[in-house]
Amino acid sequence: MGKQNRRAVVLEPDAAGIDIGAEEIYVAVPPDRDEESTRKFSTFTRDLNALAEWLEQCHVRTVAMESTGVYWIPLFQILEERGFTVYLVNAHYLKSVPGRKSDVSDCQWIQYLHSVGLLRTSFRPPDHICAVRALWRHRASLLQMAAEHTMHMQKAPDEPANPPRAERHHRDERFGYFRCHPRRPTRPD
């Protein structure tokens, strides 16, 4: 059987795709939902709420987004609170699928893959488990910092910060800094 002109069956007609960056978020909805089916939003909270309102106006029920760093967390929480089904997709898996063209068209590609059912969601535990995990990770970070500071203290010299009185200081004019010379012991007569 040779190559045929096939059309993918749309399994999720109410799907949107989101490409998340540090400063900009690109969102694509099905072309029949809005005249401007791809929009760009900023990452401030008011813009994330505007994004969610626009998705509601477009009658979107499910959203797919890349899990890029920590940038996805606020948007994920806002969309989940508003009742959207959110697919958090591993960015490595998404990049292994051929067809990504550029950063601007990534959200359209994510929307298409999600609408035809080619994306799998990553596991995300319930909120109460996420809160406990965040506390444990913070605790581990504090323990790591405490260990590093302990090592710094152990490496500190045993000498006091102020030199002993047996030493005298004089200015070395040739080098423009103070030199420290121990006082030579005196000879008993």
Q: What structural domains and CATH numbers belong to the chain?
A: 15-127 (3.30.420.10)
The sign of the CA dihedral 92, 96, 101, 105 is negative
pLDDT of amino acid 1: 43
Question: SS3 of 91, please?
Answer: helix
- Compute the average pLDDT of residues 9-20: 90
Prediction pTM value: 0.66
171 pLDDT more than 80? no
Q: Residue 172's beta-bridge partner residues?
A: 177
CA 142 to the chain's CA centroid: 20
Q: Residue 28's beta-bridge partner residues?
A: 17, 38
Gap between the Cα atoms of 114 and 12, Å rounded: 7
Q: Which of 27, 89, 30 is nearest to 64 (CA)?
A: 89
Which CA distances in Å does 38 have to 55, 61, 62, 139, 181? Answer: 11, 17, 16, 41, 74
- Compute the average pLDDT of residues 78-89: 93
pLDDT (tens digit per residue) in 97-155: 565 566 667 888 899 999 998 888 888 888 889 889 989 999 999 999 998 888 877 77
Task: Place 9 in a pLDDT band, splitting at 50, 70 and 90.
Answer: confident
Q: Is 13 left (phi over 0), alpha (psi -120 to 50) or beta?
A: alpha
- Compute the average pLDDT of residues 35-57: 94
pLDDT of amino acid 159: 52
pLDDT of amino acid 40: 94
Mean pLDDT is lowest, of 67-81, 89-103, 158-172, for 158-172
- Is there a contact between 113 and 97 (Cβ–Cβ < 8 Å)? yes
Highest mean pLDDT among 53-62, 90-99, 121-130, 155-164: 53-62
